[in-house]
Structure 1
């Protein structure tokens, strides 16, 4: 069954601080394809006219077997931890939207509201690269957690049912990388599973074979160390039953980390 959804845009993006020239310096030039893909996504996001942007962070996942939705009315992102002391991004939080989202979820999913004014870097980087022309659009931030794969999918699926009752046009963005273990000099070390995971996931995404993604070998995913995987399952739940055309805009790994930029167009 295909659903009519208020989700008008969906994508996955890598949140590398190296995409910011002040931080990346010469390394930024090695991510030209990713930056070009971001620019294309930005155009499509603007064209979708979102009323709310939901960001699913995965690099800074919640260390609990529950989910959190950030209801802070103001959101501030900095990149001082990466050496850029001047960078600052300010956005409005989707306070009412987040409260309703949590209230409708709490009987089926273990979810809590939190109020963190400071955005994690994996929300800050994508918002900077995608929303400079949409700075007034409220932001709702949630995160992957230590909950099971099934719980992530259920969180997404139940969220979709809630979004269907809303009047807002909703954009969903997963922020995360694929495997960080693609080469001997990778920051997380090398694993043969890294390349296998990235290749397999991209193949499934090209076909929009969500059942195959949900059925991937947990040991392979663990050995690949892919931070985005649970966030992807959450997004798949949100898009469950919706007609989707996948567009892998870019995949590159110049630093031994899999950076995939992709859009999942609502049909």
Structure 2
């Protein structure tokens, strides 16, 4: 009997750290206890912990080597809690040996190796939090502590297959835990700037894993993943490799996000024999084509490329098939701004989407900003190289009163009858609500001392160099 789980690692869920705030994760805490008791009933000889927060290398998966390993929560201002575990040296030895034979990039790391990199040899919080709960019910195991690397999907999956191979060859009773949080961009209170794509990532991730085709997470849009700022996807891809050749389905036991980060706990059930899938992993990966060179944000680069095509060919030549799925699967209002030597050179936008997708909206408004802004002469081709381009994606506006406004965070729409004025947030020189409202009213031809309606909206701003 084995067990396979995805577990998050929020330190705040530990009462000594949360000091009451952990109650906001009450459902997650109950599920942690449930899973920990379930693992105790399995009585694994080996727990395989795959974490994103140990000693990570760019080109090799690291495996902690030695007799034992420990860690504590002092970096979270908690000095009276620690976790210790014996390491499964026999498992590690065979794992490294077979990895070398199969040409998989795996490195054993110990105290001396990590000292050379200025890193301590210890359990990271990606391992500490799940083990904190498990150790309350069961401690008679040895640990395999793994930190993944940003390798391609097929190598991560192959490594998972290898873990299963080692466990079976040693006849180990084992549990695999993929430690990882989901999007870190679910709200303004989170650790990263809010993105509407964070919620979409979490929704797709959980839906795919709990479907009949959990391997569909390998086909998720690369830009959606990038926007989400997650740390659990690669751990999960390795875990799925340990289940290769089996028919599986994930069961979402809990999901909460009170702190702007998605915390999901999933149990994976083995339904029977299935297809060995390694030959399919990575085939559907969609690397960005030359239209998106990785040298800048794809939203901004699309705007620049369509302007180059416009001036040189009088039409845009970019096919939607060349673009990330996220740019063609969603509709938003978009503003495209052009600056030269720090001064505005053109800006055209739409409050609500007027085309079939974000990509079309960018193309339309980029060309209009260069050629149709009535405040400026049209841009010519020779100027294009000296322009800085930014793209703002507008989220849905909501009614507001002046007391709710913040010119750094919110853009505004003022309207009276058919008159309407729009001002983006975080504009240079506009620091007060009064200035923001006055300028928006001036643009609309509305008396700022009279009556008018206000709506506020947030934007996701992309600039060159992002």
Short-chain TM bin: over 0.9
Q: Does 1:124 align with 2:128?
A: yes
Give the aligned partner of residue 111 of structure 1.
106
Instruction: Tell me, in whole angstroms, the C-alpha distance in 2 between the residues paired with 1:242 and 1:41.
Output: 22
Give the one of 33, 58, 65 matched to 1:64. Answer: 58
Contact 2:8-2:180 within 8 A present in 1 as well: yes
Instruction: Tell me, in whole angstroms, the C-alpha distance in 1 between the residues paired with 2:54 and 2:153.
Output: 17
Give the one of 250, 255, 258 matched to 1:254. Answer: 258
Give the one of 80, 88, 99 matched to 2:82. Answer: 88
TM-fit CA distance, 1:72: 2.3
CA distance 1:208–1:65, shift in 2 (3 Å) = farther
Give the aligned partner of residue 49 of structure 1.
43
TM-score after normalising by structure 1: 0.93
Give the one of 192, 208, 231 matched to 2:196. Answer: 192
Return 5+ residue gaps in structure 1 as ranges: 1-6
Coordinate RMSD, CA, aligned: 1.5
Q: Does 1:99 align with 2:93?
A: yes
CA distance 1:254–1:61, shift in 2 (3 Å) = farther
Aligned to 2:267, the other structure's residue is in SS state: strand
Instruction: Tell me, in whole angstroms, the C-alpha distance in 2 between the residues paired with 1:27 and 1:240.
Output: 39
> More relative contact order in 1 or in 2 (CA 8 Å, sep 6+)?
1
1:154-212 Cα distance to aligned partner (Å, 9 max, x none): 21123223332221111000111000001122101111110110000111111142331
1:124-143 counterparts in 2 under 5 A? Answer: 124-143=128-147
Equivalenced residue count is: 261
Give the aligned partner of residue 148 of structure 2.
144
TM-fit CA distance, 1:244: 2.5
Give the one of 3, 23, 28 matched to 1:9. Answer: 3
1:16-31 counterparts in 2 under 5 A? Answer: 16-31=10-25
Contact 1:12-1:263 within 8 A present in 2 as well: yes
TM-score after normalising by structure 2: 0.54
From the CA coordinates, give the structure whose radius of gyration is larger.
2
Instruction: Tell me, in whole angstroms, the C-alpha distance in 1 between the residues paired with 2:123 and 2:5.
Output: 19
